[in-house]
């Protein structure tokens, strides 16, 4: 019986080996545990500095505000801010005292707590962001200033506070926030011009009000010029499309019009050139118009202009399939200089619009 059991054990498959734990897995585990330990240590360190400030253990500085006194530590304030360090050095007495007035007492408390913990609660930032920006700028606390600016740049501006924020940004050397305020005012100037902040600023700082109005006018002019350039480029793109459609009709034929040696597709066949249908009507009119000999009508004059524009754009001398191309190129040599300048400008605009759109020229 024992021999049979031994044979069964020997014949059965061996157990699977445990998975190999490579160096990458070990490092990732160590890294994850290290991050957890680091986060735990960071949290305990913040709690330590928070309790040190809240309980005031070993505090040797009194910060006087509008509504009270805040206890703090001179070594922490001096290391965090060179301005506070200079104020503490100039302070006399056994227990040093400095004064921070002009902002709410609670805002100063949040500011002193930030100097101890390098952290600010979200609800405190929402409530005292303007006061904290002033304090961080005055006492050169760059990290807190950046946090305040990021808060004010994202959804903080309104029609009621944008004027005050703009003036504060100019005083606190915040050019990006100034630019955002200018853009905000330009978009909502009708509503902002009736706000209390705007009326107060016009009396206290009329030069800034004039500067804002001037910048808004310049922005409107730039917008109008940009729209004008877009409309011009649209017209030049249409001319380029007409040139392509003209070559398409004269070289390949389209629907019911084309070269004699080409088999036309018929009127129901779709065309890839949007200007082909209108140009087809213009070509038929140009061929059959009786006034063409005596100067032509407005449609004939437009056709002559399209033919001449093609001749100036075309780089083929004898192989071009567009009628009158060679004759118009020869006639260009006897054109007046003023007319040549006008046509050359038109050609450059059409080529510029073609390059801008990325369309190839046939």
Phi, psi of 152, deg, nearest 5? -75, -20
Residue ranges per domain, the chain? Answer: 41-152, 227-357
User: What pLDDT, in 10s, does the model give residues 146-168?
Assistant: 999 999 998 899 999 999 999 99
User: What pLDDT, in 10s, does the model give residues 86-118?
Assistant: 998 888 777 788 899 999 999 999 999 999 888
Alpha-carbon distance 229 to 126, whole Å? 44
Residue partners of 74: CB distance under 8 A and separation at least 6: 60, 61, 88, 96
How high is the pLDDT of residue 53?
A: 81
Q: CB–CB of 132/148 below 8 Å? A: yes
Q: Which two tokens stand for residue 102?
A: 């002009």
Q: CB–CB of 148/136 below 8 Å? A: yes
* Residues of the chain below pLDDT 50: 1-6, 9-11, 20-23, 25-27, 30, 33-39
Question: What is the strand order of the sheet 96-99 is part of?
Answer: 69-72, 61-64, 96-99
- H/E/C letters for each residue in the chain? CHHHHHHHHHHCCCCCCCCCCCHHHHHHHHHHHHHHHHHHHHHHHHHHHHHHHHHCCCCCEEEECCCCEEEECHHHHHHHCHHHHHHHHHCCCCCEEEECCCCCHHHHHHHHHHHHHCCCCHHHHHHHHHHHHHHHHHCCCHHHHHHHHHHHHCCCCCCCCHHHHHHHHHHCCCHHHHHHHHHHHHHCHHHHCCCHHHHHHHHHCHHHHHHHHHHHHHHHHHHHHHHHHHHHHHHHHHHHHHHHHHHHHHHCCECCECCCCCCCCCCCCCCCCCCHHHHHHHHHHHHHCHHHHHCCCHHHHHHHHHHHHHHHHCCCCCCCCCCCHHHHHHHHCCCCHHHHHHHHHHHHHHHHHHHHHCCCCC
Query: Which CATH code for domain 227-357?
Result: 1.20.1020.10
Q: CB–CB of 100/75 below 8 Å? A: no
Given the candidates 3.40.190.10, 3.40.50.150, 3.10.20.600, 3.30.710.10, the CATH classification of the domain at 41-152 is 3.30.710.10
Residue partners of 108: CB distance under 8 A and separation at least 6: 63, 65, 70, 100, 135
Q: Please give the C-alpha separations between residue 121 and each of 111, 118, 165, 206, 313, in angstroms, as whole numbers.
A: 11, 10, 22, 38, 67
How high is the pLDDT of residue 180?
A: 92
Q: Please give the C-alpha separations between residue 73 and each of 79, 87, 115, in angstroms, as whole numbers.
A: 10, 13, 10
How high is the pLDDT of residue 336?
A: 67
The pTM for the full model equals 0.61
Alpha-carbon distance 308 to 329, whole Å? 8
How high is the pLDDT of residue 261?
A: 64
């Amino acid at each position: 019986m024992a021999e049979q059991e031994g044979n069964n054990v020997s014949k059965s498959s061996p157990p699977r080996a445990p998975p190999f734990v490579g160096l990458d897995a070990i490092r990732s585990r160590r890294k994850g545990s290290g991050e957890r330990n680091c986060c735990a240590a960071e949290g305990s360190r913040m709690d330590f500095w928070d309790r040190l400030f809240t309980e005031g253990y070993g505090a040797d500085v009194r910060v006087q505000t509008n509504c009270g006194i805040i206890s703090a530590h001179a070594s922490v304030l001096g290391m965090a801010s060179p301005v506070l360090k200079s104020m503490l050095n100039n302070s006399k007495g056994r227990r040093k005292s400095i004064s921070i007035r002009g902002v709410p007492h609670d805002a100063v408390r949040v500011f002193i707590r930030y100097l101890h913990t390098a952290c600010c609660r979200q609800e405190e930032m929402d409530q005292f962001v303007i006061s904290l920006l002033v304090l961080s700028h005055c006492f050169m606390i760059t990290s807190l200033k950046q946090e305040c600016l990021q808060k004010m740049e994202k959804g903080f501006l309104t029609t009621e506070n944008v004027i005050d924020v703009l003036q504060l940004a100019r005083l606190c050397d915040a050019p990006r926030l100034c630019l955002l305020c200018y853009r905000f005012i330009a978009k909502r100037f009708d509503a902002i011009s009736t706000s209390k902040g705007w009326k107060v600023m016009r009396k206290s700082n009329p030069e800034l009000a004039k500067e804002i109005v001037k910048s808004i006018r310049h922005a409107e002019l730039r917008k109008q010029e940009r729209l004008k350039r877009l409309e011009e480029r649209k017209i030049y793109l249409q001319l380029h499309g007409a040139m392509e459609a003209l070559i398409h009709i004269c070289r390949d034929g389209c629907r019911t019009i084309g070269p004699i040696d080409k088999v036309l597709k018929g009127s129901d066949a779709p065309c890839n050139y949007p200007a082909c249908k209108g140009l087809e009507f213009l070509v038929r009119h140009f061929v059959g118009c009786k006034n063409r000999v005596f100067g032509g009508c407005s449609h004939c004059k437009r056709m002559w202009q399209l033919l001449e524009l093609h001749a100036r754009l075309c780089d083929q001398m004898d192989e071009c399939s567009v009628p009158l191309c060679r004759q118009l190129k020869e006639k260009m040599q006897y054109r007046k200089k003023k007319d040549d300048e006008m046509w050359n400008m038109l050609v450059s605009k059409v080529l510029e619009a073609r390059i801008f759109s990325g369309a190839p020229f046939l």
